[in-house]
Amino acid sequence: MDTTVLIDIDRLPKEGLRLSRDFEFLSLDLVEENAVFLEPAHAEVAVRLVGDEILVKGEVTARLSFVCSRCLTPFEFPVASKFDLIYLPEELDGLAEELSDEKIDQMYYNGRQLDLRAVVLEQLNLTFPAKPLCAPGCEGICAVCGEIIRDAKCSCVVKETDLRWNKLKLNVRDK
Ligand SMILES: [Zn+2]
Ligand SMILES: [Zn+2]
């Protein structure tokens, strides 16, 4: 199941190819190191060759478990991401370097083949937030007792400590 899915562009039918399949990735494959797959990723993809360009259009869906970066609670993170990509043959790579900055995001395939598994994985990784949060306003963990504030188990009164006051106190003590 987790083998690569190579699309041989010389054998692509003229009308293109439609694929619907599951992909099993390892958490190791993901940019988000604490993510765990709750079910395999699923991709619906249409691949078409136009001239030398491979057009890849589709959607990847997945259900993952992330760990909140503030309160460290695991939470479900559903992915449903559409993509519409163009891959150029790698022979043009050298040329592209001389082109404007706009072309920097351009993607390439090499050897008359496109690894669809890698394409889907890349799209999946692009959907991940830099700092996953269980809820937009997650308040994280209480600095006093270490309980998760959302659960409202703690009744600590957190005093706003102002570093400037601390500094003042130190200064007073110094004298
Ligand atoms: Zn949280
Ligand atoms: Zn507390």
Which ligand has the nearest atom to the CA of 149?
A: 2
- Please tell me the distance between residue 123's alpha carbon and the centre of ligand 1 in angstroms: 25
- pLDDT exceeds 60 at position 81: yes
pLDDT at 1: 47
Can you read off the two tokens belonging to residue 145?
């007792």
The answer to whether the Cα torsion of 84, 10, 111, 100 is positive or negative is negative
- Please tell me the distance between residue 136's alpha carbon and the centre of ligand 2 in angstroms: 20
Which ligand has the nearest atom to the CA of 143?
A: 2
Region 64-69: mean pLDDT is 94
| Better-scored residue on pLDDT, 39 or 96 | 39
Neighbours of ion ligand 2 (CB under 5 A): 142, 144-145, 154, 156
- Please tell me the distance between residue 155's alpha carbon and the centre of ligand 1 in angstroms: 18
Report CA Rg, the chain: 24
Residue 7's nearest CA partner among 146, 113, 163, 144 is: 113
The DSSP string of 81-105 is EEEEEEEEEGGGHHHHTTS-GGGGG
- Residue the block writes with tokens 């078409």: 48
- Please tell me the distance between residue 140's alpha carbon and the centre of ligand 2 in angstroms: 11
CA distance 81 to 125: 10
- Please tell me the distance between residue 5's alpha carbon and the centre of ligand 1 in angstroms: 36
Q: Which residues pair with 141 in a beta bridge?
A: 148
- Please tell me the distance between residue 99's alpha carbon and the centre of ligand 2 in angstroms: 56
Q: Where are the alpha helices (DSSP H) in the chain?
A: 93-96, 116-126, 163-174
Which ligand has the nearest atom to the CA of 71?
A: 1
CA distance 42 to 47: 16
- Please tell me the distance between residue 125's alpha carbon and the centre of ligand 1 in angstroms: 21
CA distance 78 to 127: 10
- Please tell me the distance between residue 69's alpha carbon and the centre of ligand 1 in angstroms: 7
For 32-53, what is each residue's pLDDT tens digit?
Answer: 888 999 999 999 999 999 998 9
**For the chain, how many residues are written?**
175
Can you read off the two tokens belonging to residue 92?
């043009």
- Please tell me the distance between residue 151's alpha carbon and the centre of ligand 1 in angstroms: 10
- pLDDT exceeds 80 at position 19: yes
pLDDT at 29: 86
> The whole model's pTM is what?
0.76
The answer to whether the Cα torsion of 133, 137, 138, 141 is positive or negative is positive
Strand residue runs (E) in 28-154: 36-50, 53-67, 74-89, 107-109, 113-115
For 112-163, what is each residue's pLDDT tens digit?
Answer: 889 999 999 999 999 998 899 999 989 898 888 888 887 666 778 655 555 5
